[in-house]
Structure 1
C-alpha cells in the first residue's frame, strides 16, 4: 500500500472565543500574526487566561494544528475537524513527534513554525465528557502524553485549503522535543 501524501484535510477559523471553530473553504495566514479573522490572531497572546496574566506576552499559539489520525483513534468519541478548536487539520504527518522549530509548508506559500504542544483545558470535558482523559494519557513510565495537537506561529503568508500539500522542514542542529505552550 503506498504511503499517504501529507495533506491538509480541513481549515477552520472563528472570530469569537468559542470552543469549536467552524470549517471554511480557506484561511489566510499572516506572518507573525496568525489566521486572518480568527480570534486567536495577534502578535501578542490572545488566549484569555494568558492575556490576563501578561497581555504583552508573545503569541506562540497563532495557529493550532491537529492530525486527523487523532480523530480515528478516539475510541468512544466522535470528533470532526474544527471541533477541538484547531485551525488546520492534517493527515499523513505525525505532528506530535515533530521537534521544536519544525516548519510546515502548507499549500503553495504558507509556512508555520511549531512552538509547542497544546495542553487541553478542562472545557474539553464540557464539549464531550471524558474527552480530556482521552487527549492526555500516560506512557509506561507514568509521564503525560498530550495528543491535542501542536501550536505554531506564522513564518510566511499564504492561503490554505483542504487538499493542499504539507511538507515538513526539520530545524538544523539539535532536535529539541516539544514542550507545552
Structure 2
C-alpha cells in the first residue's frame, strides 16, 4: 500500500506490539462504498465518527492493520491496482499495532479518544462492497464503538490497553460503575415496532395498571410486519418496555434506571397480529439503588417468553443524577 503522505511504497513495518501509529484515516457519508482519506476524525461517544455513514450503528468504527494489506498485496493482489487508504472501507489504518491480540471488550486508546472492541470480522454478503472483488474487513477488520470521544489525526499513537485499565483508572467509584452501566444500557437498540400498544404507555402511564399481585401489567400487539421467531420479543422490545416501566410508572418521570444485564428466554412462538400481555415484577435487592425486574410475555393465557434484568438507579438528590442526564 502506498505511503499515505508520499504515494511511495512504505518501508518494512516494525515488529508488531501493543502500541502503533495511525497511518491513515478515512470516512464516507454513505455505506457500501470505499472510504476517502481525511485529515482527521472527530469521534463522538456512543455515536461514532462525525460525518461517517456508519455512525449510530452497533459497530461504527473499523480498524485495519497496514500489515494485513501488505500481506494481501504480496499474496496475490499485485495483479490488481494497488489499494489506497480506504479502499477496503476501513476508517483507521494502523501500523505496528498487533490488533490480532484484541478481543471483544478490549479497549484502545487512539489520539484523544478511547474505543471498545465490539466485533472481530463480519459476515460477508454478496452485495457488500469489495475492492475489485476482494475484502479484508470480514477476516481482518476490528470493529469498535466510541467510549470516550476526541479528535484523531494521522500520526497519532494507538495503543491496546491492558485488561482492566479503565476500571483501575476509575478507582471503582459508584459514579463510574453507574456510568459504564448507563452506556451499556443505552447501547441496546430500542424497538417499538412490536410494542404497538392499545394505549401508548410511553406517553400515557394510565395505560398500565397493577394487578392483585402488585405486578405492573400492560398489553401490546404483535404486528404482522415483524417476521421470524427471534424478531418477536427481543432485547430491543424489552428495553423499550423497561424504559417505560422504570421511568413512567415505577419511579416517576424524573428518574432514570439502567442495566448492564438483560436476559430473554423464549418458551413458545408468539403469534403475530394478536394482542399479547406482559407483566413486570419489581424486586428490591439492595436499598433504593438496585432492582431486579422480571418481564413475563403471555398470549392466550400461555407464557411465551420471559426477560430478566438487574437495574441500577440513582436516588433522588444523588449527584449521580447529573451523570444520568448528560
Give TM-score, length-normalised by structure 1.
0.70
Distance 1:2 1:83, change over 3 A: closer
1:20-99 correspondence to structure 2 within 5 Å: 20-42=34-56, 45=57, 59=58, 61-74=59-72, 75-77=75-77, 78-99=82-103
Query: Aligned pair 1:102/2:106, yes or no?
Result: yes
Query: Aligned pair 1:116/2:115, yes or no?
Result: no
2-structure distance, mates of 1:24, 1:2? 24
Give the corresponding residue for 2:20.
6
Q: The residue matched to 1:147 in structure 2 has which SS?
A: helix
Distance 1:69 1:29, change over 3 A: same
Unaligned stretches of 5+ in structure 2?
1-12, 166-326
Query: Aligned pair 1:150/2:164, yes or no?
Result: no
Paired positions, count: 144
Comparing 74-83 with 10-19, which one deviates more in the overlay?
A: 74-83
Give the corresponding residue for 1:176.
none
Unaligned stretches of 5+ in structure 1?
46-58, 137-145, 174-181
1-structure distance, mates of 2:151, 2:36? 17
Select the structure with the greater relative contact order (CA < 8 A; seq sep ≥ 6): 1
Comparing 161-170 with 23-32, which one deviates more in the overlay?
A: 161-170
Preserved CA contact (<8 Å) 1:67 1:89: yes
Give TM-score, length-normalised by structure 2.
0.41
2-structure distance, mates of 1:99, 1:105? 15
Give the corresponding residue for 1:178.
none
